[in-house]
Structure 1
Amino acid sequence: MGFLDIKQATKFYGSVQVLHETDISVEEGEFLVLVGPSGCGKSTLLNMIAGLEDITTGEIAIRGRSMNGVKPADRNIAMVFQSYALYPNMTVSGNISFGMEMHGIPKAERARRIAQVADLLQISHLLERKPGQLSGGQRQRVAMGRALVREPDVFLFDEPLSNLDAKLRVDMRTEIKKLHQKLGTTIVYVTHDQIEALTLSTRIAVMYGGYVQQLGTPKEIYDNPANMFVAGFMGSPSMNLFPAKVVDSSGKPAAEVRLSDGKTAAIPFADGALSSNVGRDIILGIRPEAITDRDGADRNSQSVHMVDAPVEVTEPAGSDTFVVSQIGGKDVTGRFRADVSVNAGDIFPFAFNMEKAVVFDPQSENRIA
């Protein structure tokens, strides 16, 4: 049993099922991120934990106590919303203390908690200002402060950074991670941004179509995606996914791929993987950092293989150059060193690190190796 247990939870709106049987157990101090595209069910699940949405079937429990039918105010949770939801006529101090006042916490204790949280979030100098006098980042800190002073069992974050500009979003991401490391609080965090999910979480639940597609650590999700949706959704740039066929190449199983110039190449699998699948059509998945120039390839890998392929596009990105070729009719992106001399139209040697390759079934889209 975990600190927060979601057991076979479902949600229907009339006859439409938006969340299918969901089982997640969150340990105390964990940072769980629910990530997926719009409409995948992540915000619905968060609202069910908060008590803002009823559970159709199943159970949600906190500290072993069932939350089914328990009002939001009686769940000892605190929520940080996308919109901040601050009272414009109150000062920062008033916004932070409002929830404590409603729960009858003595004034001296309120003052202590406000001072403690304001110092932690570096907003002590803003306590007498009103929300209209604050920047977006400052307002988000106030919203977080209002949640922190509650000292709840579970913190719920509903896309809290989506209204911020790109740089501030990165800064606040770092602040939230620091906060979790300092306090060791239990957090469930919703986002559609997979970079936020990978950088913040201790575990990720990738959601799509009302189902949890995969639940695991950031490394498990990134390196060992359970299916093609997870592989393509997590990572930036996303994993390359292109058709291939398992063939026998000099007595070893290899992925045969078709290049844009009409030629084919056979790329051997690492460790003889898929030796029993010769002749099978597959989808090969490999991340851009595992496709690079010869000198940039992983020197510790025992399975780096060169493929001479036509270059379609080069995209300089400062510390790297992204190089695109077409394989199996799909654009395939490699992450090359910034100083590599390569141009569109070149036939260039791409180094494939097949130790990092994964294989999916084209019909079920599930991983097979």
Structure 2
Amino acid sequence: MSFLKINNATKSYGSTKVLHNIDIDVEEGEFLVLVGPSGCGKSTLLNMIAGLEDITSGTIDIKGQTMNGVHPSKRNIAMVFQSYALYPNMTVGQNITFGLEMHGVAKAERDKSMNEVAEMLQIKQLLNRKPGQLSGGQRQRVAMGRALVRDPDVFLFDEPLSNLDAKLRVDMRTEIKKLHQKLGTTIVYVTHDQIEAMTLSTRIAVMNGGYVQQLGTPKEIYDTPANLFVASFMGSPSMNLVPAKVVANGDGIFAQLPTGLSDQVNLKFSNPTEALKGFDQKEIVLGIRPEAITDPEGADRKAKHIEQITNRVIVTEPAGSDTYVMSSLGGKDCNARMRADAQVVAGQDVPFAINMDKAIPFDPSSEMRIA
């Protein structure tokens, strides 16, 4: 039985339906990330799990008990908000233990739990300070401590890192992941940041327009996106999506498309499916991650099939550990990820190695992956 089960859940405001038939089973100890653009319904779904929003239809169960209509205080969940929501007139220690005090927990037990959590989060030296005396990262740790001290069934995080600067966000990501590995808690985490989703989760639910577009492990989401939305949303830089035509002959199945040199190239698929063979002489959208297009010396030696083409460089972007190189494929700008010391300059015609093991075809009419 699932620890948290969302079964055919919908949410409407009047005649406007904002969540459509959501089905997600979360196992105990899992780290599920709900990711998607603003307005996709991910925070609404989190609030429904918390009981802050009523469910219109369907059910939400926690540990086998249906939560529909159950007050938030009776659900044994803990929520960490984007705004931290700390009481400014209380010390850090009082903020952490306030929930326990409201539930009638004895002071000795409150203090013991507070000290354990403060030790774990490395904030013992802050227990007597007020929130106004803390940095953003310290406030975030206090908000997490207030959640942890309650030992809930499910932790809910609502974009907890969005108010932090870039470096601190990376540091706190690591801290949250370490905490999850140490405690084995069940977490549902909302973010619009796909890097956060990829690095933190055991599974990701990619949402858009009130629908779950794909549910899977980070590797499944990244390597085999279900549709064009998931392909374009997940990954930084995003997947190259270029128009192509499927051509079949005795040598195999090819994606035919023009380069920036006005040449037509045929890129052979490594393992074409029967479904793809049915697209002979039809248009597709060819998806290739930037790291699957590189300089020949940097190509994956384990790849079954590498296609090498010559193309003209439009612009280069040195990024320290890598160099991003833009060229044109299928009439679209196409990003390649080359080694940091790759010798390429704008306007130059250079060889590109394309790992066709990683090429993903999509049906342009349905926008679904051709599986």
Shared fold, TM over 0.5: yes
- Counterparts in 2 of 1:1-369, with a 5 A limit? 1-248=1-248, 251-273=251-273, 274-369=276-371
Instruction: Tell me the distance in 1 between the aligned counterparts of 2:234 and 2:262.
Output: 31
* Matching residue's letter, 1:45: L
TM-aligned CA deviation for residue 280 of structure 1: 1.4
TM-aligned CA deviation for residue 260 of structure 1: 2.5
TM-aligned CA deviation for residue 132 of structure 1: 0.5
TM-aligned CA deviation for residue 271 of structure 1: 2.9
TM-aligned CA deviation for residue 318 of structure 1: 0.6
Q: Helix, strand or coil for the counterpart of 1:277? A: coil
TM-aligned CA deviation for residue 326 of structure 1: 1.2
Percent identical pairs in the alignment equals 70
Give the CA RMSD over aligned residues. 0.9
Is the 1:157–1:188 Cα contact (8 Å) retained in structure 2? yes
Is the 1:249–1:268 Cα contact (8 Å) retained in structure 2? no
* Matching residue's letter, 1:36: G
TM-aligned CA deviation for residue 155 of structure 1: 0.2
TM-aligned CA deviation for residue 327 of structure 1: 1.1
Q: Helix, strand or coil for the counterpart of 1:270? A: coil
TM-aligned CA deviation for residue 262 of structure 1: 1.9
Instruction: Tell me the distance in 2 between the aligned counterparts of 1:330 and 1:109.
Output: 63
Is the 1:290–1:353 Cα contact (8 Å) retained in structure 2? yes
Instruction: Tell me the distance in 1 between the aligned counterparts of 2:326 and 2:350.
Output: 11
Q: Helix, strand or coil for the counterpart of 1:144? A: helix
TM-score (norm 2): 0.98
CA displacement, residues 100-128 of structure 1 (integer Å, 9 cap, x when unaligned): 01111111110010000000000000000
Q: Helix, strand or coil for the counterpart of 1:271? A: coil
* Matching residue's letter, 1:324: M
Instruction: Tell me the distance in 1 between the aligned counterparts of 2:156 and 2:302.
Output: 42
* Matching residue's letter, 2:329: I
TM-score (norm 1): 0.99
TM-aligned CA deviation for residue 214 of structure 1: 0.2
CA displacement, residues 279-324 of structure 1 (integer Å, 9 cap, x when unaligned): 0110000101100000000111120010111111100001110000
Q: 1:249 to 1:266 in 2, by over 3 A?
A: farther
TM-aligned CA deviation for residue 249 of structure 1: 5.4
CA displacement, residues 137-192 of structure 1 (integer Å, 9 cap, x when unaligned): 00000000000001000000000000000000000000000000000000000000
Is the 1:252–1:275 Cα contact (8 Å) retained in structure 2? no
Instruction: Tell me the distance in 2 between the aligned counterparts of 1:262 and 1:93.
Output: 67
Is the 1:140–1:160 Cα contact (8 Å) retained in structure 2? yes
Q: Helix, strand or coil for the counterpart of 2:98? A: helix
Unaligned stretches of 5+ residues in structure 1: none
- Which stretch has the larger CA shift, 252-261 or 330-339? 252-261
TM-aligned CA deviation for residue 341 of structure 1: 0.7
Q: Helix, strand or coil for the counterpart of 2:112? A: helix
- Which stretch has the larger CA shift, 273-282 or 108-117? 273-282
Q: Helix, strand or coil for the counterpart of 2:163? A: coil
TM-aligned CA deviation for residue 272 of structure 1: 4.4
